[in-house]
């Protein structure tokens, strides 16, 4: 599976309330409307930086920490963000993201800068920073999780195949 886009850089410990503020949790239930408020508490202009289908969040450690609300990865996907690269992810956020078909990739993100052009190849286990002519190794994404990504999430996979994939 190949993914490409432009880096939007964030720091460490981006929690689910930074992704989508808790003040909208019950007042806005439409994901499309909710997505207009992505990251607004840490960067009010964040949504304007996005190129739908061509943006990749690049963060540090512990991305997605905090609440287990599924709105956080849903809003990220709704905004057209195609992947998130981070040093580490909060476990429940990691699981929720793959369940909806949002690619999360663990790698050292220190040398990636805002605006860098990136090409991710999950099969080869690399991220190419095209801007800097550099390759980064990534933590392998198991094949069954890549199948979820290709299908657009676990529910879509199950609808198509009538069962979950074998884990090897």
Domains of the chain: 2-161 (3.20.19.10)
Cα–Cα distance for residue pair 73/99, rounded to 1 Å: 10
Q: For residue 125, what is the DSSP state?
A: T
Cα–Cα distance for residue pair 99/95, rounded to 1 Å: 6
- Residue 95 token pair: 């699981």
Tell me the percentage of the chain whose pLDDT exceeds 90. Answer: 82
For residue 117, what is the enclosing H or E element?
strand 117-121
User: What is the per-residue pLDDT for 28?
Assistant: 87
Pairing state between β 117-121 and 126-129? antiparallel
Residues of the chain with pLDDT under 70: 168
- Residue 7 token pair: 């880096």
DSSP alpha helices (H): ranges in the chain? 16-19, 31-34, 46-49, 71-78, 91-99, 143-151, 154-161
Q: What are phi and psi of 102, to 5 degrees?
A: -100, 120
């Amino acid at each position: 599976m190949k993914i490409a886009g432009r880096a939007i850089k964030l720091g460490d410990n981006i929690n689910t309330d930074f992704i989508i503020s808790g003040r909208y949790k019950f007042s806005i239930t439409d994901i499309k409307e909710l997505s207009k408020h992505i990251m607004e508490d840490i960067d009010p202009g964040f949504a304007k930086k996005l190129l739908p289908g061509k943006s990749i969040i690049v963060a540090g450690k512990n991305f997605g920490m905090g609440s287990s609300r599924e709105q956080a990865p849903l809003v990220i996907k709704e905004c057209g963000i195609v992947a998130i690269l981070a040093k580490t992810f909060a476990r429940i956020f990691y699981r929720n993201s793959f369940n909806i078909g949002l690619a999360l990739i663990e790698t050292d993100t220190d040398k990636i800068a805002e605006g860098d052009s990136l090409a991710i190849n999950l099969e080869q286990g690399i991220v190419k920073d095209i801007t800097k002519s550099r390759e980064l190794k990534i933590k392998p994404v198991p094949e069954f999780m890549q199948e979820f990504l290709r299908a657009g999430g676990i529910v879509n996979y199950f609808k198509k195949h009538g069962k979950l994939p074998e884990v090897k």
